[in-house]
């Protein structure tokens, strides 16, 4: 007989809060979530996704229309342009905020009035799987909770992490160069608060179980308004202990297990995704034993894939892919190449050497990119991320500079992403091939603004209708590729994947569907030179009728060779039975 929800919850809580009455705390959490202590668990190892799933990542106000709330405009754009292409929409923080384009939340239970209302959010959630951020590590210094912290009253008095400049903080891992501890005046005098990201983003104190109870109520509120996918923002930093790195601590992993347990008992097909921009081996730990994240961001993919395409050499990408463990059933990878943030450099640790990293940095800087830094424990500033629009990141090569293969290179990158094990996620500016927005950087003073442009809907529609614009060419071809992907069982996020060995200029892998009714050989020329592949090297079964699913061209001679133009891709497969 399986353990009850309550007993499982108590066991997890005892790891995090060994000195507290965890049975009482469990009752409070279950009450906050509206859950029956004896509730039956959802089926184990259940895949809440299929090959049809494609995610769009966007801000609420990326697409705008005069005299219309941006969330209404976003729904209009989704319905008119992407209804047949995307199944899930990640709307980046749509709450009232004070900085960081939404990630300094002032009120978790409100929708930013300038964006729209909860009714607008619910309208999107009715037609698409809605992914929302749970900005769980920190909150705005202008929030009501933090004002109460200053006043030393509740709720908020003990909701934020306090530090002492005399504490041993030498091991703390930082994603920024700003001060970790910031002094604030309170009714009890000066206090130092912990700020992992910025002075305006004060870290929440999960050592106080009242904070966990508050978030249980917030999660329930989101679920009741249609949120199906929870992105746990910056969750790796959640638990703080001076004298440690304050990242990936055991309490953090247990808290993720607790949140998942509560979420999936409330809504069986809800999904938890951890956002942990860290080296690959560290990132993989957030699967737990299929009891933490349902999905993790594949953070090493963007820098490795971009490096592959600007160097014309897939050695590191291939080595990484061979070392990636298949995700257990009920878990998967979220594949992306670009996002609202920059291209993380920490996920390349152990994958690229320092000279290779610097070459990538130099190349993308020559294409208009910028570099953001973090401060290491020994006080050195190290590159943390590259800030550049993906369209411009792929405008040329490391050796030759900008060239005329930008469109083909850009489409090759997305063709690879669409075929890999996992769920593909498109940042809206990649789907639209938006370039560097240097004017926005100058206006905001923030490097990440380079990839956070805004479109007026009328201009966007005209641009996408213009067959000569590169935006239109990318948009139409990516929609075509998505449609092909969604019809292939071999592209199920958990379908089998093996790496092919076809040299350093051809990046290939094999996918086989869960029921073994379809295989697809995915072969991509990642260089600016013509390449040939001998079909005998792929070992196609001679009794099957093979077709390049991308072009529709049948493969007649299995003993012959295929010539691939620069950045051309092949998906050699047998069409699935109808």
Just list the catalytic residues: 233
On whether 100 is known to bind a ligand per the annotation, the reply is: yes
CB atoms under 10 Å from CB of 441, counted, come to 18
Nearest to 57 by CA among 546, 431, 515: 431
On whether 138 is known to bind a ligand per the annotation, the reply is: yes
Q: How far is CA 222 from CA 108, 212, 262, 381, in A?
A: 9, 15, 13, 38
On whether 142 is known to bind a ligand per the annotation, the reply is: no
Between CA 227 and CA 90 the distance in angstroms is 10
Between CA 365 and CA 371 the distance in angstroms is 8
Between CA 413 and CA 343 the distance in angstroms is 14
Strands (DSSP E) contained in 127-188 are 129-134, 138-140, 162-163, 181-186
Between CA 374 and CA 26 the distance in angstroms is 38
On whether 231 is known to bind a ligand per the annotation, the reply is: yes
For residues 113, 118, 119 and 124, what is the CA-based torsion angle, rounded to 10 degrees? 110
Instruction: Say if CB 60 and CB 121 are below 8 A apart.
Output: no
On whether 429 is known to bind a ligand per the annotation, the reply is: no
On whether 511 is known to bind a ligand per the annotation, the reply is: no
Between CA 400 and CA 409 the distance in angstroms is 14
Q: How far is CA 339 from CA 97, 279, 374, 439, 477, in A?
A: 20, 18, 19, 19, 20
The DSSP bridge partners found for residue 100 are none
Between CA 455 and CA 343 the distance in angstroms is 22
On whether 448 is known to bind a ligand per the annotation, the reply is: yes
Instruction: Say if CB 86 and CB 424 are below 8 A apart.
Output: no
On whether 341 is known to bind a ligand per the annotation, the reply is: yes
CA 450 to chain CA centroid, nearest Å? 18
Q: Which residues have CB under 8 Å from 487's CB, separation 6+?
A: 51, 576
Q: How far is CA 377 from CA 66, 123, 170, 180, 262, in A?
A: 48, 46, 6, 11, 36
Nearest to 136 by CA among 222, 50, 40, 238: 238
Q: Name the H helices within 152-239.
A: 209-224
Residues belonging to the binding site are 100, 138, 231-233, 340-341, 448
Residues making up the annotated binding site for substrate are 100, 138, 231-233, 340-341, 448
């Amino acid at each position: 007989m399986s353990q009850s929800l309550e007993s499982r919850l108590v066991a997890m809580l005892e790891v995090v809060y060994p000195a507290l009455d965890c049975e009482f705390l469990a009752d409070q959490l279950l009450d906050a979530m509206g859950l029956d202590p004896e509730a039956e668990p959802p089926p184990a190892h259940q895949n809440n996704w299929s090959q049809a799933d494609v995610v769009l990542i966007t801000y609420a106000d990326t697409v705008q229309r005069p005299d219309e709330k941006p969330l209404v405009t976003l729904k209009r754009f989704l319905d008119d342009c992407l209804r047949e292409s995307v199944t899930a929409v990640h709307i980046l923080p749509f709450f009232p905020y004070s900085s960081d384009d939404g990630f300094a939340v002032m009120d978790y239970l409100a929708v930013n009035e300038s964006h729209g209302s909860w009714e607008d959010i619910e309208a999107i959630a009715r037609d698409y799987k809605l992914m929302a951020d749970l900005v769980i590590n920190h909150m705005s210094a202008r929030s009501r909770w933090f004002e109460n912290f200053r006043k030393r009253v509740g709720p908020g008095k003990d909701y934020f992490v306090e530090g002492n400049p005399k504490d041993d903080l030498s091991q703390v891992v930082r994603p920024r160069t700003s001060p970790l501890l910031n002094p604030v005046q309170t009714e009890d005098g000066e206090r130092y608060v912990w700020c992992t990201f910025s002075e305006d983003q004060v870290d929440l104190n999960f050592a106080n179980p009242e904070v966990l109870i508050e978030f249980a109520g917030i999660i329930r509120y989101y679920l009741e308004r249609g949120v199906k996918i929870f992105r746990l923002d910056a969750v790796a930093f959640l638990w703080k202990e001076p004298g440690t790195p304050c990242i990936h601590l055991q309490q953090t992993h247990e808290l993720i297990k607790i949140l998942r347990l509560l979420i999936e008992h409330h809504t069986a097909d809800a999904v938890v995704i951890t956002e942990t921009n860290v080296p690959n081996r560290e990132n993989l730990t957030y699967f737990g034993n299929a009891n933490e994240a349902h999905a993790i961001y594949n953070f090493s993919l963007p820098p490795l894939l971009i490096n592959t395409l600007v160097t014309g050499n897939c050695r590191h990408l291939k080595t990484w892919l061979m070392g990636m463990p298949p995700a257990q059933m009920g878990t998967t990878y979220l594949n992306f190449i670009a996002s609202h943030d920059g291209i993380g450099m920490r996920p390349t640790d152990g994958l690229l050497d320092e000279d290779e990293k610097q070459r990538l940095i130099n190349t993308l800087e020559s294409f208009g990119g910028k570099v953001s830094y973090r401060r290491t424990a020994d006080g050195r500033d190290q590159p943390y991320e590259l800030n550049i629009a993906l369209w411009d990141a792929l405008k040329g090569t490391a050796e030759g500079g900008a060239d005329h293969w930008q469109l083909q290179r850009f489409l090759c990158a997305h063709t690879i992403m669409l075929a890999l094990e996992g769920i593909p996620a498109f940042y809206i500016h990649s789907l639209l091939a938006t370039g560097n927005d240097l004017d926005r950087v100058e206006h905001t003073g923030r490097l990440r603004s380079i990839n956070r442009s805004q479109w007026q809907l009328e201009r966007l529609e005209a641009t996408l209708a213009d067959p000569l614009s590169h935006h239109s060419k990318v948009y139409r071809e990516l929609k075509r590729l998505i449609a092909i992907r969604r019809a292939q069982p071999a592209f199920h996020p958990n379908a089998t994947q093996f790496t092919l060995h076809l040299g350093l200029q051809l990046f290939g892998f094999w996918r086989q569907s869960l029921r073994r009714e379809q295989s697809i050989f995915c072969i991509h020329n990642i260089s600016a030179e013509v390449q040939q592949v001998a079909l005998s090297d792929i070992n196609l079964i001679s009794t099957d009728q093979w077709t390049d699913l991308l072009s529709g061209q049948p493969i007649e001679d299995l003993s012959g060779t295929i010539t691939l133009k620069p950045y051309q891709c092949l998906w050699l497969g047998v069409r699935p039975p109808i």
